[in-house]
Amino acid sequence: MTLADARARCPDLATAPHDPVADSRELDRLAGAMIAFTPLVALDPTDGLVLDVTGCAHLLGGEDELVSRVLAAAGYTASSALAAHAAAARALARHGGGGRGEDVRTLPVAALELDERALSGLRRAGLKTLGDLAARPMAGLAARFGEAAVMRLRAIMGEASSPITPLRLVEPIRLETRFPEPLARTDDALDVIEDLLTRAARIMEERQLGGRRFLVVLHRSDNVRPRLAVETGQPVRDPAAVMRLLRERIDTLSDPLDPGYGFDAITLAVQGAEHLPSRQIGLESGKEDAEDSIAALVDTLGVRLGEERVSRLVPCDRHLPEKAQGLVPATQARPGPWPAGGDTPPRPLLLLDPPQPVDVIAGVPDSPPQRFRWKGRLHDVRLAEGPERIGAEWWRKRGGHTPGNAGDTRDYYRIEDGEGRRYWIFRSGLFGETPGPRWYLHGLFP
């Protein structure tokens, strides 16, 4: 049903916007978690997983125990089924009762997942279960309902193969160097770390990856393991850039990096790797150099001051201008594109927090301001553009859309005074719906 009908029946209904991208990522995460039970895990988009558990059940105490552990690891209320092949298990999980030992012949014809016209034709012909279809000649079914119906039926019945394409495990990037004699100098250890970073960079370049977090573990002879971890705002695979951050990290340690009796081994792990294609350097690389220098500055400040103290503005999917951006840690945020404007930005870069009240004189109630007073100074309006009407975020309120919240509606105007200064002014409330609408100055254009 529609959301409005659902809220009418259940006013306390909790809703959330559908995010297919987030669903896909969550399914990938669940698939990765299932590797603990079997090396053969396949995606069944948009909400399913297929696990080949051949030879794995006895390791966990039988099939029942395996199923219970899988469902517990998933963390969701899920339908599951076990069968001799993937097509039957999928049909039983999606269209069966979920019981053990259920016969696929009792499944409804909807398990074939044909279009509604074909399913309606099967039901009108009196064929309601897969067992009814299996008792009919396949040639007749193919002639009337298509070859796809017969192929899916044979796959579910086990008469045709139903192979799966398991996910390929990506080998983690982890390198280690062991020494016949312990390293007694910190500078020697840093040289080894730089060599490990160079080897890791070659691996990441082959895979078209870049690291977001680098972890170095130094194994001392007395079993003490100092750890050095640095995070970057963007994927990188430049050994020099990571070494610079590691040296900054060492300088900020409260206790100096003491080799003690020496380091027996050094381990480097690249965590949080992301796609980073090779980039060709053009003749004019000023923009790329500027972006790289900004990213390097953010990473250096994050190491010196702490990642949580260096923030980045990111766009937010909010209706109100003052809530359309938010601050997040710079190393955790992926800088994305902001809404592009023309030569003249539709909204100012500088917003006043909170908006400042102004006194406005307008020709008619709903017309742009002709004169306004701000901080005791009178400004004559020479040019005005608008309005841009922004309604209240009624969908975030418990009562939803009601006539009582019409006073939150704003009409924004871009205006220019006689001295060439430009302002962003809005009227809060609509005449006829809100008693005494007020005017506010919300931003200044450069």
Q: What is the pLDDT of residue 250?
A: 85
Q: What is the pLDDT of residue 216?
A: 94
Q: Does domain 174-291 have CATH number 3.40.50.920?
A: no
CB 330 within 8 A of CB 233: yes
> What is the SS3 assignment for 289?
helix
CB 340 within 8 A of CB 327: no
The structure tokens 């871009």 sit at 414
Q: Give domain limits for the chain.
A: 19-157, 174-291, 350-444
CB 319 within 8 A of CB 393: yes
- The CA distance from 414 to 346, in Å, is 8
CB 331 within 8 A of CB 245: no
The structure tokens 């009919």 sit at 136
Residue 429 φ/ψ region, left for φ over 0, alpha for ψ in the -120 to 50 degree band, beta for the rest: left
CB 277 within 8 A of CB 206: no
Q: Provide the β-strand partners of residue 306.
A: none
CA torsion angle 391 396 401 403 (round to 10)? -70
> What is the SS3 assignment for 13?
coil
Residue 168 φ/ψ region, left for φ over 0, alpha for ψ in the -120 to 50 degree band, beta for the rest: beta
Instruction: Write the CB contacts of 407 (distance below 8 Å, at least 6 apart in sequence).
Output: 428, 429, 430, 433, 434, 437
CB 86 within 8 A of CB 162: yes
Pick out the chain residues at pLDDT < 50: 283-285, 402-406
Q: What is the pLDDT of residue 127?
A: 87
Q: What values do phi and psi take at 198, rounded to 5?
A: -65, -45
First to last CA, the chain: 48
- The CA distance from 82 to 38, in Å, is 14
CA atoms within 13 A on the CB side of 394: 14
- The CA distance from 158 to 151, in Å, is 11
Q: What is the pLDDT of residue 283?
A: 46
